[in-house]
Chains A and B, each alone.
Chain A
């Protein structure tokens, strides 16, 4: 009996410690790729970095060139508490001094340079599906942006969410580099990469389970708005989704912000649409092809 108790006291914490350990990509896991800032700009817009990390101006989201000032400071209210979005500008208060490996581990593994887990409010569960060369290009682009000083307060989370180490378990359940759905054809595949990876569309459009992981069997079928009232729409081709939208409609919406009814994009999607408008027509067409290739949710 005593032996079991002792074993429990030692082995359980040890197991938890091992299971929650941050998994980093080692230095030799980094590919030999010179960062290309121009290519990284495409990833920057596809990834929507500015939508959270650009410093708000007069209490409102940044617009136009202010989107390139990545000093952080926005707050995200969630059921777990308040997240303060950090500075990711190339200043010492942000990503200044980060190695490419640091950045790759943040994006693909959700691990900070000091080895701590990031919270999945930083959508690395999607970014984990990105190509390592795209991540390196993205860093090259961010390095060209203005360096701004400033740090933000720590996240304000309740128990047990404030125990960062526990995120290691969450990652074991939900973090992988695999694509979510099968699609055929180069356009849909290109779109899949953009949507499932950098675009992180699933983070809002896919419902989550009780641990906050995306339910892949209900991929992009709509979900409660993580920031409050209402719902984020179903964007699969079913009757409750956007089945009546043609691929050209989706493409035009992403480019212009106008629905097939010529109403305007609204809510948090405005910033997303503006990012999509920065992509090429080919990328927007690819996203449309992917969304049309999805299985209808109903």
Chain B
């Protein structure tokens, strides 16, 4: 508070000083800001603008090169929303995203609580849980698709040992979405573990001691102390998880190409396939699907802000 007050006094004094001096300071401030502003404009504002522009025109390869796309307004969006594949992709996106982040969060939290206690080799073990994060995606996704192979996969071999028949994980329309979700959960656990583990360090140990003295059991301590105090960290973890999962393309593309026959096609896969997955690049509908994803992520962000306000 004191420092704030001196701050205001000083600004007032500065106001009495010569105006050019103040202007120069403003320019200096702007100059310091400039690199960031330029960066934001070039790497965020422009791509976003371009994406919207692509989606409002009909960019055939010909129009893309000649630079004379026809302005079609919201036609691309109308086409996408009325496409039979849209509802399917939306449903798949919801299942994939919500399933992934729910499981990632639950497993990540369980592991974080587990690693709260230090025991022999706990640091080593914790480090090992980070491995999925360190592997290049092409490696982990290919490994998953080998493991889940219908005929020669290790998963089916293990299941057969218990008398379960062959499950066509990646090639049956009933299981391919589940298969890519499981792989994605495995990829996302380390992220949840790290953030939640860090969040746990901020909960004062005295609270647990006091609760212990009052006779609270492990489960009650978790429910009444850990979970509520972890709320802000949990919220941001879930939000980041949501955004990250919404835009997942690589793992699904490598494992199933969104197939068989659209069974694991999410909105992100759909967008990617329209633009780059066929011999005929259709940038406009791809950009329109991409923009829908941005809107969904944006809505989730607003919901997060709302929840945070309620919390505090």
**A and B associate in one complex:** no
Q: B: which residues have CB within 8 A of A?
A: none
